[in-house]
Amino acid sequence: MIKLAKKIAFILTLALLLGLMLFFFFDKPLPEGEEGPAADQLADKMLRAVNYQAWESTVAAQWTFFRGHNFLWDKKRNLVRVLWDDFQVLLRTTDQSGKAFKNGKELSGDEASEALKTAWEYFANDSFWLAAPFKVYDPGTSRKLVKTDRGDALLVSYASGGVTPGDSYLWILDDDGTPQAWQLWVRIIPVGGMEFSWEGWETYENGVKLSNLHDGIMDIKISDIKLAMEVSDLNDGIDPFQNM
């Protein structure tokens, strides 16, 4: 027992030291920037590069996040179907209400509430990795132009929205405004400035451009991306929300 306790203590100490090393060597402060027309012009340039107008006119989106979460989103009606493991949730994104099922059986009470909460958290996070470039003017955002050794970058901060308000993202853009990477200052990652790539760009319905790979401390892959003008077009002609 003494040897086991010493081994556990050694592992915990090593993990703590590695965490401290990661923090001190890689943690970056939130960069300084300037709000105003120049920042908004850079944001507009990014929106043009990813075809924001086409995204806004597209009604439905479907994708699978790398953790096995599948989404069918009706943007016009603010409804999303979330599938994972044995769960299916039909969620209203405006107030996080809806219906939850496990193995085809509708849940109620605390089980339903927990499933709805989980579905909302999955959607808020996973849709952001899909569509964050389109959200630089969301309510509660501020934009700053940041001078970097990689050119002008766009710092977007979120005072509200999602499940972790207060997060900030620094967009690294190429010459035409297409995102190449972002650096994160977010609650769920204790090291500030962690970077993930935005790559695997493809063009979808109406000319919308979406990235399907984010390479960083882990690879975040998005697959089975489809867009349409009606949600039923992505679900064998059936509207999954007809009884909502």
Model pTM score: 0.87
Report if residue 190 sits inside a domain: yes
Report if residue 200 sits inside a domain: yes
Report if residue 239 sits inside a domain: no
Report if residue 1 sits inside a domain: no
Alpha-carbon distance values, 87 to 8, 39, 78 (Å):
36, 42, 20
Three-point CA angle 179, 182, 185, nearest 5°: 150
**8-state DSSP, 23:** H
- Provide the pLDDT for residue 142: 96
Report if residue 243 sits inside a domain: no
Mean pLDDT of the chain: 90
62 in Cβ contact with 234 (< 8 Å): yes
- Provide the pLDDT for residue 162: 65
- Provide the pLDDT for residue 9: 36
- Range 33-46 average pLDDT: 98
Report if residue 147 sits inside a domain: yes
Whether 184 shows a pLDDT value over 70: the answer reads yes
Range of the domain at 204: 35-234
Encode pLDDT of 85-137 as tens digits.
999 999 999 999 999 999 999 999 999 999 999 999 999 999 999 999 999 99
Report if residue 13 sits inside a domain: no
pLDDT band at residue 243 under the 50/70/90 scheme: confident
pLDDT band at residue 7 under the 50/70/90 scheme: very low
Nearest by Cα to 244 from 110, 111, 93, 121 = 93
Alpha-carbon distance values, 45 to 34, 40, 105, 152, 174 (Å):
17, 9, 47, 12, 10
Report if residue 199 sits inside a domain: yes
CA–centroid distance for 158 within its chain: 13
Quote the number of domains for the chain.
1
